Amino acid sequence: MEILTNLEAGFAVALQWDNILFCFIGVTLGTIIGLLPGIGALSTISMLLPITFYMDPTTAIIMLAGVFYGAQYGGSTASILLNIPGTSANAVTCLDGHPMAKNGRAGVALALTTITSFVGGSFSILVMIFLTPYIARFALEFGAAEYFSIAVFGLIAASTLSRGSALKGLAMVVVGVLLGIVGMDVNSGVQRFNFGILELSDGLSIVALAMGLFGVAEILSNLLRYSGEPYKIDKVTYASLMPTRQDIRDSTPSTVRGMLIGCLCGILPGAGPTIASFMAYAAEKRASPHPERFGTGVVQGIAAPEAANNASVQSAFIPTLSLGIPGDSVMAVLLGALIIHGIVPGPTLVLEQPQLFWGLVASFWVGNIILLALNLPLIGLFVQILRIPYDALYIAMLFFICIGVFTIRNNVFDIFVMLGFGLVGTFMLIARFPAAPLLLGFILGPMIEENMRRALLLSRGDWLTFVDSPITATCTVLSVVSLVWSFWSPLAGFIGRARDRRSNSLGSTGFD
């Protein structure tokens, strides 16, 4: 009964005309951004951060969250029609979505991705409604040692479980933590690591850092890859959007399995929508009696990953809002947006800011319904957006990014910081160093340091305080296991390859 009362209050907030308007703006912009390959929700949210400073915090988070889950809807369109994923989470949709388009079933593929995305997102919203308040109440019993242990585990897991090299992810975490301690020490008030630069007294701007690493870096890297050729797009008619009964029967079990996998991946630190979609596709292929048909244009190959990535996006808000620990880079930026507005994320947010929390939850329903209404009737209009020349689009984006960074503190220095991190981010993309762990380290680093020092102060310097409770002991063990795995996995692969080369060389010489 309490949940129904809270939901009623949440819908009273979400259905206010300004919140509906900005929810519509967010999901529409997210859909468009998802359509355009290479931009991504993270870059867009970073660009929009300066605008939200003049908005109500609830309205601002509703809009930014709408961009995030709206991009998952739009990203599938480019994957199906062009074989180019709009977002990394939609990459696996190319495997069966584009073959369906080449077989003349592009409309059916687009309709199924929209429907399964709605179902996956709706399921995770229900999980969020019932799970988040209980996690928040449980987390109220946490002390400094518990917060330190959980934050460390989340940071290590986010870097070791993400795509690419775990060692590179850990290295970026360390760099992010070092960047996070620039400025004033929260305990002593002493300036540190600012190298005499007055503008660094308050530390680096999270907006300049995020917009440089993700906005400017994405623009530069995509301009390097962009050939200048306009995309060739086939026309999609309304009549072609109707799936058959067999399509619905085949995709329903896949959708259910995909949303369960996606919901779990969203809650786990470091997994996220990309890993969720690939895991769902692999599980679906393994469960199918005809795995050889995958990759030729089967509906199961698009239903499972699309349900998974949208379920993952919605469930990622559970640890972010209940514990104040972001699971991926987008959640880290949203966490930063809350902090900028003076709202402390964590268990107190759910209890002390019920208007924001339940209004945000209710807005997810509103946003998903808007997306369902937008993507099916207006798919032909959205497809035409792919004809926008990229060179003109990126120049305009870079211009607005610079304006946005400047307006935060009216400081030209932040623009140079952003451009500097943009160049660094571009080289990181070329060298395959992940930027997301760096941002997570930058945000969680000060929190880890503050809680570690507080826990040691309360325990009078006893380091056993980080293992003397079930929660701290469990998180510490999981952190150690993650670290050992991140170091052992590449070492084991190297040893295995060396053994294979040695066996091949012995075999070629005729020895048994």
Give the whole-angstrom CA distance, residue 475 versus residue 151.
9
Check whether 297 has a pLDDT greater than 70. yes
Least confident of 149-158, 362-371, 383-392, 453-462: 383-392
- Confidence at residue 511, expressed as pLDDT on a 0 to 100 scale: 44
Instruction: Give how far the C-alpha of residue 128 lies from the chain's centroid of Cα atoms, to the nearest Å.
Output: 17
Q: By percentage, how much of the chain surpasses pLDDT 90? A: 0
- 512 vs 102, higher pLDDT: 102
CB 379 within 8 A of CB 77: yes
Give the whole-angstrom CA distance, residue 487 versus residue 137.
36
- 353 vs 275, higher pLDDT: 353
Express each pLDDT in 463-497 by its tens digit: 888 888 888 888 888 888 878 877 776 665 556 66
- Confidence at residue 512, expressed as pLDDT on a 0 to 100 scale: 45
Angle, alpha carbons 450-456-458 (nearest 5°): 100
Q: Chain-wide mean pLDDT for the chain?
A: 77
- Confidence at residue 491, expressed as pLDDT on a 0 to 100 scale: 62
DSSP state of 466: G
- Residue 508 — pLDDT band, cuts 50, 70, 90? low
Least confident of 38-42, 74-78, 84-88, 164-168: 84-88
- Confidence at residue 128, expressed as pLDDT on a 0 to 100 scale: 83
Check whether 56 has a pLDDT greater than 50. yes
Q: Using CA of residue 452, residue 458, residue 459, residue 461, what is the dihedral sign?
A: positive
CB 319 within 8 A of CB 334: no
Express each pLDDT in 102-135 by its tens digit: 777 777 888 888 888 888 888 888 888 888 777 7
pTM over 0.75: no
Distances (CA, A) of 120 to 77, 259, 328: 17, 5, 19
Give the whole-angstrom CA distance, residue 398 versus residue 419.
10
| Structure token digits, residue 493 | 């692969």
Least confident of 165-169, 367-371, 451-455: 165-169
Check whether 230 has a pLDDT greater than 70. no
Check whether 510 has a pLDDT greater than 60. no
- Residue 18 — pLDDT band, cuts 50, 70, 90? confident
DSSP string, 142-196: --HHHHHHHHHHHHHHHHHSSSS-HHHHHHHHHHHHHHHT-EE-TTT--EES-TT
Place of tokens 């109500």: 56
- β-strand partners of 183: 192
Give the whole-angstrom CA distance, residue 311 versus residue 67.
15
- Confidence at residue 240, expressed as pLDDT on a 0 to 100 scale: 63
Express each pLDDT in 377-433 by its tens digit: 676 676 666 666 666 667 777 777 777 677 667 778 888 888 898 898 888 888 888
